[in-house]
Each structure stands twice: as C-alpha cells, then as structure tokens.
Structure 1
Amino acid sequence: MPSRPADYVRLVEAITEQIRSGELAPGDKLPSYSQLAAQYNTSISTTQAALRILRDRGLIEGHQGKGTYVTEDPPLA
C-alpha cells in the first residue's frame, strides 16, 4: 500500500497545479493561512511550511499586511 504524501507536500502540489493550470493567475491573491488550512484540512504551521516552499520556488510572494500573491512571472518548469 503506497504511503500518503505529507500534508505540506499535498498543499504545495495542489497550489502549484492551480498556478500551472491558470486557475491561479499571476497577481492573484491566495486565501489566508487560516482559509487554506481549513480548505486542505491542515494546521496553520503546515500551511506556512507549504507556502514557504512555494515562495522559495518563486511561485508566490508575500506582502506584509497585504497577503500572499502569485508572482507576476512564476517559473512553470
């Protein structure tokens, strides 16, 4: 029986796919940490870890006090 990916991996993959498919376009604002945590049934810390990975990959960027957005030119490779 294959093991299930860690929650943060599922979240990273889901948001990456939304960006690649165009469901989340450059400049789009992501839901808040608490909204994402509820949507994907994860903890806030797991959600933060996933978004940190997405930031490190250049797919999203945070703006203090304004939210987290898809970068204007996200790398899709």
Structure 2
Amino acid sequence: MDEEIRKAAYNRWEEEGRPEGQHERHWREAEEAHRSNSAVDQNRPSDHGGVVPPDESETSSDAVPSNRQGSFKPGELASENK
C-alpha cells in the first residue's frame, strides 16, 4: 500500500512541476485518493453476483431511444430542446 501511495505522490509532484516543500501535501492527497479508491473497490461486487446483463436486442424503453441510426426524431435530442 505504501508503495502505491508513494508512486501516486511522486506523480502528483511531477505533474505540478516538482515544487519544493509540497511533499506532505502530495502524500496526503495520494493517501486520500488511495483510501477513496479502496472504499469504492470494496463496495463493487467482484463477480457481479452471477448476473449477466441482458442482450441489447432484448431490452427496450420508451424513455430512452435506441442508439440505432435514424431512431431519433426531431426534438428528441437534448441539444434540440434548448
């Protein structure tokens, strides 16, 4: 874990142009990022609970138009509603 944090802190330092005296902030930010990434990974099921998403052809929705070419009608796109 410390090795991952060290590499992340070093990358932050490099990205900021190698400023002097910022090592503690870079380390703290890298620790926080590592902690939040670990929390997300722990909440994510590793095998999706055995659930397989349905085939796209088996799903339909009136709320969301399909991605097929020609499926949008004038006025359905958000950019046209402005």
TM-score (norm 2): 0.28
TM-score (norm 1): 0.29
Compare the two structures and name the one with the higher helix fraction.
Answer: 2
Compare the two structures and name the one with the higher strand fraction.
Answer: 1
Larger Rg: 2
